[in-house]
Amino acid sequence: MTSAGATPPEPAALSAATLLTPARRVAAVLNRAVAAGLVGEEQPVAGFLDTDGIRASVADLAAAFAHAPDVLHTFAVKAASLVPVLRLLAELGMGCEVASPGELRLALDAGVPPSRIVLDSPAKTRGEISEALALGVAVNADNLDELRRIDALRAGGSASVVGLRVNPQVGGGTIGAMSTATATSKFGVALRDPGARDRVVKAFAERPWLTRLHAHVGSQGCPLALMAEGVAETYRLAEEINRTLGTRQITSLDIGGGLPVNFDDDATRPAFADYTRALGTAVPDLFDGRYALVTEFGRSLLAKNGFIGARVEYVKEAGGRRIAVTHAGAQTATRTVLMPGAWPLRVGAFGADGSPRTGARLRQDIAGPCCFAGDVVAHGRELPELEEGDLVVLYDTGAYYFSTPWGYNSLPRPAVHGFTADPSGGVRLTTVRAAQTLDEIAAESGLAHAGALVSLGARTGATAPAPSTPRC
């Protein structure tokens, strides 16, 4: 990692905090959260983030890239758009990758220096680009038309590093929606389309200030070899452009993120070190310092460092299947509910006090609170028999789940709590985000303009017309 920013903790320094097994660690946290009233009847769903685990993940990332002389690790804010999380990551030396004005605001509010922020988005407005250039935030243009916008907007100069995103078109993984280097991906300049490569070289030749190439192959479902091939293709293009221009105009490569996460068990695989080995095989000179590197990891840093705890409100039978109706459904586990085959989650069964449930297992569906039939987080899972008041845990949900909830049914956003646990099971908790109140839901839903539509149709001194009589 670059010298700028705080130095992340060494992996060895974190070993004492990981003596608890993952299952015991979750049970200790859940038990403490119940005792503190953070989850239960009054607060039926909450998210929990393991700060020790986050620190360890950042340390693993830094160690895996330690042989790279110049690398900026940025966190993909969309994976956990929570200011305290971004502040912690900034303290550990990370920057932020943002893809919207909201994410940029969160990164700045978290104290991340603009020089350590990268703006990626396929639909940047002129206003968004202007703000980034004024702040000194790095900008990765998604296409050649965007470069033409930047031509005008940076006419007075800017401290921002500007790059161009390319699509190496190396293919997709097992989840099409997560694959961004397919032949028809909406992202970047498609390099294998006729004439595209020449147009990219020309774009750099016309803009001496264009100094970075960016590529991102995808995330979940993409094998390491495919990701590495996308980086290799980008590296080869950078070498071609610099050779053609007769100067080392491209000085940095943004290689994206996308390391997949294992949702099957507690193991962290693949590891960041596995990825750097794959990169070294595909691009032997990538780490020689010729190019500064930028990464944009998100899910792989947070997913296994968080879980959702939710109360079982009712248990019922339907068609011979037992169903536990809980408060964790599509509003917090959107991807899993809508794409269960691609995003399966492990489920844990706990008693009302947070202690692990024991006893004979039986097949049960774990359903959520949303008013549509498909709101089921897990189908036919063999778990100890659940009862009203019990708690279920959805593991590996530290990224993209409770941090970016769906407002279906106007269900309130759940509280999020950070925790640390010592080897003996002692737990400390802190609030990361308070649960959304009903007043906040009403305000967000236009309460201040409650009469707007009524007044729009009102005419002074006129009475509303009588409803017409329907005809058969």
Say if residue 203 is in the same domain as residue 126: yes
Average pLDDT of the residues in 233-242: 96
Say if residue 309 is in the same domain as residue 264: no
Say if residue 309 is in the same domain as residue 198: no
Say if residue 292 is in the same domain as residue 310: no
Domain boundary among 268, 302, 336: 302
pLDDT digits (tens, 9 = 90+) for 108-120: 999 999 999 999 9
Say if residue 235 is in the same domain as residue 332: no
β-partners of residue 95 are: 74
Say if residue 100 is in the same domain as residue 154: yes
Domain boundary among 268, 285, 302: 302
Dist. CA 188–CA 17, nearest whole Å? 42
Tell me the helices (H) and strands (E) count for the chain, helix number first: 13, 18
Q: How many CA atoms lie within 13 A of 270 on its CB side?
A: 19
Is residue 459 scored above 80 in pLDDT?
no
Say if residue 435 is in the same domain as residue 357: yes
Q: What band does 183 get if pLDDT is binned at 50, 70 and 90?
A: low
Structure confidence at residue 365 (pLDDT): 97
Dist. CA 193–CA 180, nearest whole Å? 15
Domain boundary among 302, 328, 359: 302
Domain membership of residue 108 (yes or no) is yes
Say if residue 309 is in the same domain as residue 292: no
Q: Which residues are catalytic?
A: 371
Say if residue 340 is in the same domain as residue 226: no
Mean pLDDT of the chain: 91
From 210-219, 301-310, 385-394, the region with the lowest mean pLDDT: 210-219
Structure confidence at residue 173 (pLDDT): 63
**What are the backbone angles phi and psi of residue 218, rounded to the nearest 5°?**
150, -170
> Cis omega (within 30 of 0) on the bond before 113?
no
Say if residue 230 is in the same domain as residue 318: no
Domain membership of residue 349 (yes or no) is yes
Structure confidence at residue 4 (pLDDT): 39
pLDDT digits (tens, 9 = 90+) for 56-100: 999 999 999 999 999 999 999 999 999 999 999 999 999 999 999
Segment 178-186 long-range contacts (CB within 8 Å, at least 24 positions apart): 178/218, 178/219, 178/220, 178/221, 178/222, 178/342, 179/217, 179/218, 179/221, 179/222, 180/216, 180/217, 180/218, 181/215, 181/216, 181/217, 181/218, 181/226, 181/230, 186/122
Domain with 230 in it? 51-302
Domain membership of residue 7 (yes or no) is no
The CATH number linked to 254 is 3.20.20.10
**What are the backbone angles phi and psi of residue 224, rounded to the nearest 5°?**
-60, -40
Average pLDDT of the residues in 296-325: 97
The CATH number linked to 345 is 2.40.37.10
Q: Give the predicted TM-score (pTM) of the model.
A: 0.90
From 288-297, 423-432, 463-472, the region with the lowest mean pLDDT: 463-472
β-partners of residue 417 are: 48, 431
The tally of domains found in the chain comes to: 2
Say if residue 315 is in the same domain as residue 410: yes
Q: What band does 22 get if pLDDT is binned at 50, 70 and 90?
A: confident
Say if residue 284 is in the same domain as residue 348: no
